[in-house]
Amino acid sequence: MLALIIRISLNPVTRSSILGYNRRMQRRSFFQSFVAFVGSIVLAAVGLGTAIVQGVGSVLHGKGKDENWIKVDEIDHLLPGQPQERTISFRTKDGWEEKTEHQKVLIIYKDGEPVAHSPSCPHLDCPVSLVPEAEKFICKCHMSYFDAKGDVIEGPAPRGLDPLPTKIEDGVLYCRWVRYQSGGSQAVEV
């Protein structure tokens, strides 16, 4: 048996085929390691990119919702006690896209204080506009009317105009931009 092993190992044809087999295995092993290495780098890059996008999106979302108050107007510039409209501007970011949004808000006085309200109709989200001479608001989609306090006086709207979070600081009226679901008798934030 030992003599057979020695003969095989000394045989030049057998030795060269064994060496060739070893080299092929080494090349294959190197190739497999290389592919695994490149694959792990690609996966890590994809994971990092996703984390960055999610991180940026959530930070800005949190800021807009919990920290950033949007200036509506100075109290001295408002018409005391009267319903009125203003346009607010604020930055939004969705993934990598950053832009400035302009939105109309409705100012309604409640208990002597101005409160910003959403301009979206609670019926089906159409825009609500002020009718200054009548001191009321109208949604022309299906003709809902709201009085100077924002309550429904006519039409299919299931509730009054939705108030936005509002504060007055150093003589300035601020609000936060919030969207509410249309339909239903209760305002539910989207």
Label residues 73-99 b or e (16+ Cβ within 10 Å = b): beeeebeeeebbebebebeeeeeeeee
- For residue 144, list its beta bridge partners: 139
Positions 106 through 125 that interact with ligand FES (CB under 6 A): 121, 123-124
Closest to 114 (Cα-Cα) out of 145, 159, 77:
77
Which residue among 141, 153, 172, 178 contacts ligand FES (CB under 6 A)? Answer: 141
Return the number of the residue (84 or 120) whose C-beta is nearest ligand FES.
Answer: 120
Closest to 116 (Cα-Cα) out of 147, 158, 72, 77:
72
In angstroms, what is the minimal distance from the CB of 120 to ligand FES? 8
179 binds ligand FES (CB under 6 A): no
157 binds ligand FES (CB under 6 A): yes
In angstroms, what is the minimal distance from the CB of 65 to ligand FES? 26
DSSP-assigned states of every residue in 134-165: GTEEEETTTTEEE-TTS-EEESS-SS-PPBPP
Return the number of the residue (70 or 157) whose C-beta is nearest ligand FES.
Answer: 157
In angstroms, what is the minimal distance from the CB of 116 to ligand FES? 19
Positions 28 through 87 that interact with ligand FES (CB under 6 A): none
CB-CB contact of 99 with 164 (8 Å) = no
| Site of interaction with ligand FES (CB under 6 A) | 121, 123-124, 126, 139, 141-142, 144, 155-157
